[in-house]
Amino acid sequence: MLGKRKNGIPPGDGPMISAKNLVKSFKERQVLTGISFEVKGGETLGIIGPSGCGKSTILKLLCGLLPIDGGQVTLRSEDIGLVFQGSALLNSLNLRENLALALRNRKLSRKEEEAVIAEKLRLVGLGEYMYAYPTQLSGGQQKRTSFARAIVNDPKVILYDEPTTGLDPVMSTVIEDYMIELGKHLKPASIVVTHQFSTWSRTTDRVMLIYQGKVQWEGKASEALTTDNPYMKQFAHATREGPIAIEQKIETDESLEDKIDKW
């Protein structure tokens, strides 16, 4: 039996995002086996864990890109901003036109539309780039453009999927700073899916470590480095020793030398 999704529930006093006993499988592989969490307005939850553990799957279940196999998702707003792992910009359109796609349902005049777009681009430091094309921007600027598009409708919920993937450490810090500023400015309920230490340690209030389809640890980001939980301890300190299995075979120096000799 499929799970349930409820959108646009009146805010009340409850959390903006609520997930109860989420279950999701792909053919024979069960990715999530009963994940539950809540996120309040103005709060940022980090979902972390090794590659392939189901982090991005959770976001897709929340925003309806995948059907829920079991459990229930409740979102107290239909105003959702999604920042993709890639910038997902259309290269044939300039920045104004890319952001305008997200404003189609608001029936704004051209002048009103441009005022909204200009404001959001200024918020991410790209006010002078309204008529530039994505191919004219750096990777960091493209990522910031995707932020502006995600917030163009002042969403109550923002979902970030690996927002700093592929960026160098300095640009990652720039992007993380913008995430922090957007949180202060809009006060949304936010979820950040990432495996990068600087991103979850700097931008989140709480973190939830996923492994083998379950929540293995949850707590404040500031507690992650001092906890005795073996899963979080291994992940936070990036060690090979611990309960998180190393999926890929790592070649020894000797085996690499043997290959070099054969070449």
pLDDT tens sequence across 153-190: 989 999 999 988 888 889 889 889 989 988 998 899 99
Q: Is residue 226 part of a domain?
A: yes
Q: Is residue 207 part of a domain?
A: yes
**pLDDT of amino acid 123:** 87
The model carries a pTM of 0.84
Domain that holds residue 213: 1-42+49-78+198-263
What whole-number distance in Å separates Cα of residue 86 and Cα of residue 89?
Answer: 8
Which residues are within 8 A (CB) of 98 and not within 5 positions of it... i.e. 6 or more apart?
Answer: 89, 90, 134, 145, 149
pLDDT tens sequence across 114-125: 999 999 999 888
**pLDDT of amino acid 13:** 65
Q: Is residue 193 part of a domain?
A: no
Q: Is residue 174 part of a domain?
A: no
For residue 67, the domain's CATH number is: 3.40.50.300
Q: Decide: 61 and 68 in contact? Cβ < 8 Å.
A: yes
pLDDT classification of 100: cutoffs 50, 70, 90: very high
**pLDDT of amino acid 245:** 82
Looking at the structure of the chain, the number of domains it has is: 1
Q: Is residue 183 part of a domain?
A: no
Q: Is residue 239 part of a domain?
A: yes
Q: Is residue 177 part of a domain?
A: no
Task: Determine what percent of the chain is predicted with pLDDT higher than 90.
Answer: 55
Q: Is residue 103 part of a domain?
A: no
Q: What is the mean pLDDT of residues 120-149?
A: 91
